[in-house]
Structure 1
C-alpha cells in the first residue's frame, strides 16, 4: 500500500508539475517542437484528470492542473510563435522530439480507452442510489479497467466502489488512517436500491483494520437482492458487522433501511461495493439515469 501511495503522489503531484513547468519554461527550436510537447502535456493532464482516483488527496486538486496547463500553454506559445515551423534537427533534437512523439501517442491512446469506459451498449437496470445525506464519490466505476478494475471480472464488470468526501474533497482524515471512523463513509446508512426479495444476507464478520482483508469471504457482510422487474441480482457488500437488518426470505421496499457501510470482507478500506449480476455476468447500473464512472459525484 505504501508503494501505491507513492505511485499516486508521483502521478498526481510530481509529474504534472514537471511537465507543466517543462512546457512553460522550456526552450523550443520550432513550432513543431512546441506543438508535440504541448499536445503530449494536454494528453497527460487529461489522462490523470479523468482516470486517476482523486479522493486520496483532494477531489478539487484535479482542477488545478488544467488551469495551470492553460497558463503554461499561453506563456510557452508567446515564445514559440516567432519560431520557424520546422528546422533541420540534430540527433539530440530528433531524440527529444521522438520521445515526446511516442509519449503523445501512448497517452492519446490512454485517453481513448478511458473515454470508451464512459458508456456501454448493454441494457442497464435503473436503481435508486443507496446512500443519502452526503457527497459521494465513485472510486471505481465504468466500462474499462483504466477507471474500474472490476471490469476484468465478468460477474462484477460494472461494479461500483463508493466513498464519501469530506469538505476538503478527501475520503478520510489522513492519507490512509487505520481508525475506521476517520473514513467519512464508515457507518453511513444504507437503503435498498430496489424492491425485491432478499436471497442472501450475512451479518457476523468483523470490520477489519486497513489494510487487512478477508479474501476467503470477499463480500464480507452483504445483502443479495432479487429486484422486482429487473431480471438481475443486486449485491451490496462490505457492510458493518451487526448492522444488517434483513434476512434471506425477507421482502424489502425500495428505500428501506437495510444496514450500514462497514469494512468487512476483501476490502482495503471502508467503502460501499454494489453491482448487479445476471447469470454470472455483470449488468450495467443506472442511478437516476446516470451511468456512474470514476470521479463521478452524487449528492
Structure 2
C-alpha cells in the first residue's frame, strides 16, 4: 500500500498544500510572497517533470500548472500594494530562511532533472516494441531522480514502460492485484531490431502485485543481439508461456516476440527494456527520441 500513499501524498497533497499557502497566506511584504512563489513554482515544475503521473492520471500534472498560474495572478493582486520588505520579526526571519533552503533544494532537483533529458553517448536506434496504444515511460532518463536504473551500471538507461487508458492512468484502480486490470498486461511485444535471439526464459509465473521474484530479476524474457550493434537488448517481465521465439533464432524488426507479463522482480505489469554491453548499460533511442519519465509514445 505504500506506493499508493506515496503517490497521493507527493502528487496531490504536497502540491495542493503549497498552492493553498500561496493563495491564502497573509503576507506582510512582497518579498515573502516572492519567496513563496519561487518555492511553489520550483516544486510544481519538479513534480511536473519527475512525478510518476500514471498512478493518479497523466493529465493531472497539467491541472497543477494551470492552478499555479491562476494562484499567482490572484495572490499578486493581494500583495501588489505591500512594501517589498519590512522590519521582520525573529519568526518571520526564520520563515524566510526556510523559504531560501526550499528554493535551493527544489532548484537543485530541477537542475538534476534537466540533466536526465540528454546523454553524451550515442544511442542504439531501435523500433518501438509495442503498438496500438498510448505508452508511458515510468522510469527513464539519465538521472536517478527520473530513472532509478541509473544506480545500477548494467541497467543504466533502462526503460520501464506502461500503457495508459483514456483517463491517463495505467490501471483500473490504484494498485489492483488482478493482472488484467493493467492496461499493458498481455500486450504483444515486437522485435525492436533485426538480429538473433541469444537467450530466453518462458516458464516463470506471472505474479499478482505486489508480489515479486527477486531471485529471477528479468523474469520471462528475450535477449537479442541486434544487427550492427555490439550490445544485447533485453526485454523483460514477459507473460509465462508467451515467448514466441527460440534461442538461436534469427528475427526481423516487427516480428512477434511474446507478450507483456508480470514475471520476475517486478512491482506490476510493464515492459522493462535495456541495452547492455560488457556489463554496462547503453542508451537506446526510438525514432531518434531519448525517452525519459513522462514521455509518451502513441
User: Could you say which TM-score interval applies, normalised by the shorter chain?
Assistant: over 0.9
Structure 2 distance, partners of 1:225, 1:152, is 23
1:162 aligns with 2:157: no
TM-score by length of 2: 0.99
How far off is 1:25 after superposition?
1.3
Structure 2 distance, partners of 1:295, 1:126, is 20
Structure 2 distance, partners of 1:112, 1:217, is 35
Structure 1 distance, partners of 2:254, 2:286, is 13
Structure 2 distance, partners of 1:48, 1:213, is 28
Structure 2 distance, partners of 1:27, 1:119, is 41
Equivalent in the alignment of 2:220:
221
Structure 2 distance, partners of 1:268, 1:14, is 24
Equivalent in the alignment of 1:238:
237
Q: Aligned to 1:59, what secondary structure does the other structure show?
A: coil
How far off is 1:9 after superposition?
0.8
Please give the residue correspondences for 1:6-25 in structure 2 after superposition, counting only pairs within 5 Å: 6-25=5-24
Equivalent in the alignment of 2:124:
125
How far off is 1:98 after superposition?
1.0
Structure 2 distance, partners of 1:221, 1:133, is 22
Equivalent in the alignment of 1:69:
68
Moved more, 22-31 or 44-53: 22-31
Structure 2 distance, partners of 1:196, 1:3, is 41
1:134 aligns with 2:133: yes
How far off is 1:91 after superposition?
0.4
Equivalent in the alignment of 1:153:
152
Deviations 1:202-236 (A, max 9, x none): 11111111111111111100011000002111000
Moved more, 59-68 or 3-12: 3-12
Structure 1 distance, partners of 2:6, 2:243, is 36
How far off is 1:57 after superposition?
1.3
Conserved 8 A contact 2:7-2:56: no
Structure 2 distance, partners of 1:90, 1:207, is 61
Q: Aligned to 1:4, what secondary structure does the other structure show?
A: helix
Deviations 1:50-70 (A, max 9, x none): 101000111111111010011
Equivalent in the alignment of 1:179:
178
Structure 2 distance, partners of 1:157, 1:59, is 25
For structure 2, the 5+ residue unaligned runs are none
Please give the residue correspondences for 1:1-299 in structure 2 after superposition, counting only pairs within 5 Å: 2-299=1-298
Structure 2 distance, partners of 1:245, 1:4, is 33
Structure 1 distance, partners of 2:265, 2:160, is 12
How far off is 1:4 after superposition?
2.4
Quote the RMSD (CA, aligned, Å): 0.7
Q: Aligned to 2:59, what secondary structure does the other structure show?
A: helix
Aligned residues: 298
